[in-house]
Amino acid sequence: MAAEKLNPPDLKTILIDIGGDIGTMTLNRPETFNAMSPDLITDMVEAFAWFADQAPLRGLILTGTGNAFCAGGDLNWFKKGMEDDSIDIKSSVRRGAESLHQAIVDLQRIPYPVIAALNGPTAGAGFSLALACDIRICSENAFLACAYGRIGVSPDGGMTYFLPRVVGPSRAIEILLNDPNLTPADALAEGLVSEVVAPDQLLARARQKADKLAEKSPYYIKMAKKLVHQSLDNSITEQLQLERHGIAEGMGSEDAKNAVKAFLSGEKAEFRGE
């Protein structure tokens, strides 16, 4: 796939780079540790919808500019809304959360692997954003924190959906209530990240993982993600029906036909997304 054939959106607070079959999306508000302002949330809605619907890639790496992945919500924006009597802070935050949650829904719809490269502090809604990704790799300079309790508000961004599915409900409540700064070693032990690497190796390692996964069947990747996501809310009967239709559709593809021939002849299959 030629990068020049793609036309990514031109955004204020997000950088998008396409290298071959892999995209890199970088949150770009380094002066605020990439905190989620209204502009950044709006840009995330547009970016994730573009990756989900218009970018025929094989992988996406999500990271942050500077010393942080994402510090969560922009506290200066919250403070302004709290102090300005002309702003209905509850209504404003409600609208902002609705937009953020649309971005998370679209992130989950992306049919290829999304790898979060956590280059620094990952807190609040930034932690939620990382949890929404398929794979998380952590720099030795990073830490993870729920952080919502530090300002006395409720979690958002999917935190209470994703965290219990990673660590279990009881452990999720304990982490939320105690609200520690989780070191890279802590995050690895909890299963919140799959790997910890040196800061200067983070993006290269994320790209290495993305390239390896890009060799697999796009249909397989898409369906594996979709089926796992849906399994969390389905009965066994509902899930088996989805699996039944999924494998049948896949068997009718050119990729599957070629892969079966290659397997039986002892060759390596090449998947073109056909």
Tell whether the model's pLDDT for residue 3 goes beyond 80. no
pTM: 0.92
Q: What is the pLDDT of residue 195?
A: 97
- HEC string of the chain equals CCHHHCCCCCCCCEEEEEECCEEEEEECCHHHCCCECHHHHHHHHHHHHHHHHCCCCCEEEEEECCCCCECCECHHHHHHHHHCCCCCHHHHHHHHHHHHHHHHHHHHHCCCCEEEEECCCEECHHHHHHHHCCEEEEECCCCEECCHHHHCCCCCCCHHHHHHHHHCHHHHHHHHHHCCCECHHHHHHHCCCCEEECHHHHHHHHHHHHHHHHCCCHHHHHHHHHHHHHHCCCCHHHHHHHHHHHHHHHHCCHHHHHHHHHHHCCCCCCCCCC
Tell whether the model's pLDDT for residue 42 goes beyond 60. yes
Q: What is the pLDDT of residue 226?
A: 94
Highest mean pLDDT among 10-14, 80-84, 247-251: 10-14
Q: Which of 124, 123, 121, 117 is nearest to 138 (CA)?
A: 117
Q: Which residue is it, tokens 């032990």? A: 189
Count CA atoms within 13 Å of residue 260 on its CB side.
7
Q: What number of other Cβ atoms are within 10 A of residue 270's Cβ? A: 11
In angstroms, the CA 63 to CA 121 distance is: 11
Tell whether the model's pLDDT for residue 1 goes beyond 70. no
Is 218 or 262 the better-scoring residue by pLDDT? 218
Q: pLDDT tens digit string along 57-112? A: 999 999 999 999 999 998 888 888 778 888 888 888 899 999 999 999 999 999 99
- What average pLDDT does this structure show over 262-269? 84
Sheet strands side by side (includes 14-19): 14-19, 22-27, 59-64, 114-118, 135-139, 195-197
- What average pLDDT does this structure show over 114-142? 98
- What average pLDDT does this structure show over 245-272? 86
Low-confidence winner among 35-44, 128-137, 250-259 (lowest mean pLDDT): 250-259
Handedness of CA 269, 270, 271, 274 (dihedral sign): negative
Q: What number of other Cβ atoms are within 10 A of residue 223's Cβ? A: 19
Q: What is the pLDDT of residue 2?
A: 42
Q: pLDDT tens digit string along 170-207? A: 999 999 999 999 999 999 999 999 999 999 999 999 99
Cβ neighbours of residue 108 closer than 8 Å, sequence gap 6 or more: 132, 229
Q: Mean pLDDT score of the chain, rounded to an integer?
A: 93
Tell whether the model's pLDDT for residue 4 goes beyond 70. no
Share of the chain above pLDDT 90, in %: 77
Q: What is the pLDDT of residue 181?
A: 97
In angstroms, the CA 18 to CA 3 distance is: 6
